[in-house]
Amino acid sequence: MAPKGIIFDVQAFSVHDGPGCRTTIFFAGCPLRCRWCSNPENFALKAHLMFAGRVCKWSSGCRACENKCTHNSLTFNEDGPQVSWDICQECTTFECTQTCAANALRVCGKEYSVEDVMTILRRDFCHWGNDGGVTFSGGDPMLQPQFLKAVLQACKKMQIHTAIETSAYIPQSTFLDIMPLVDFAFIDVKNMDDTQHKAGTGVSNNLILNNIATLKTSRWNGRLVLRTPIIGEYNDSEDNALKTIDFMKENGLYEINLLPFHRLGQTKWEQLGLSYDYATGGDVSTEKMQKLQSIYLDNNILCYLGDKTPF
């Protein structure tokens, strides 16, 4: 049977996720649990509820979701609907979302067939210009390897430029099986220190670093750009930069993209009933970002800040 996948968003005219204009497909599910994550709705590999209190029309008199939940999760007080997340996390029916015209209660994640994805890409192909293509992001698309591979194969058949954003926290055989179908990769290296890596993301960096090293010695000839979200007091030290540089040099890597910490994902944590550790803290000054950039540059590593990239 043809594999199917859970996708939670498709973004057109995506201009910061690889070369040129792109369509970015966000896969559900991620093996990491980064405490600063800006897409926490992708943690789970299934359709799930989100609740955006900010757009809820309760305060202007809307009561559309009252008595709609069949699982005794939604309760109501003067602030509006209250979600019992332990119940909602198990939900598969989402009755409450069906009357919500404000899109405050909504289902995140939908099942797609390979053909569904290719219909979108075929439609978008003419819009990418010379350099663009498709980017698979998430979450981590590698968490749905069969589906991803089938989609990538279909892309290659249509001569579409493919890019991926992955944590590379994937069994090596899977990783090496998929990467030959990828032309351009962003791989996140969040901390060179394993203990710190575990503390920030919940997993060890051994597999990640090992996958990168192995990829570079394989016959893969795509372009690899490392990506590091710079989180204040976590991975913004010069020491971490120098260690990353060592690693890059050992493995013949020469491009890294440093992304300054932002809080754009904060409301999503709230919408999922999760607590967000970075409501305060984590900020990095522009000067600090430039300092880190200069360290990379002084070591002959091409280091791009934020969206100022050559692609």
Q: Which residues contact 63 (CB under 8 A, 6 or more apart)?
A: none
**Minimum CB–partner distance for residue 265 and other proteins (Å):** 15
**Minimum CB–partner distance for residue 216 and other proteins (Å):** 16
Of residues 128 and 261, the one with the C-beta less far from other proteins: 128
Of residues 178 and 241, the one with the C-beta less far from other proteins: 241
Tell me if 187 sits within 8 A of 212, measured CB to CB.
Answer: yes
Of residues 141 and 145, the one with the C-beta less far from other proteins: 141
Residues that bind other proteins (CB under 8 A): 10-17, 20-21, 23-24, 57, 60-64, 66, 98-102, 123-124, 126-129, 132, 254, 290, 293-294, 297-298, 300-304, 307-311
Question: For residues 67 and 81, what is the distance between their CA atoms, to the nearest angstrom?
Answer: 11
Residue 139, preceding peptide bond in cis (omega within 30° of 0): yes
In whole angstroms, how far apart are CA 125 and each of 45, 122, 184, 215? 27, 5, 17, 28
Of residues 100 and 170, the one with the C-beta less far from other proteins: 100
Question: For residues 215 and 222, what is the distance between their CA atoms, to the nearest angstrom?
Answer: 10
Tell me if 41 sits within 8 A of 108, measured CB to CB.
Answer: yes
**Minimum CB–partner distance for residue 290 and other proteins (Å):** 6
**Minimum CB–partner distance for residue 86 and other proteins (Å):** 26
Of residues 165 and 178, the one with the C-beta less far from other proteins: 165
Of residues 24 and 42, the one with the C-beta less far from other proteins: 24
Q: Is the dihedral of CA 49, 27, 137, 245 positive or negative?
A: positive
Task: Name the token pair of 186.
Answer: 């962003």
**Minimum CB–partner distance for residue 295 and other proteins (Å):** 10
Give one DSSP letter per residue of 128-141, joined into a string: STTT-EEEEESS-G
**Minimum CB–partner distance for residue 150 and other proteins (Å):** 22
Tell me if 3 sits within 8 A of 112, measured CB to CB.
Answer: no
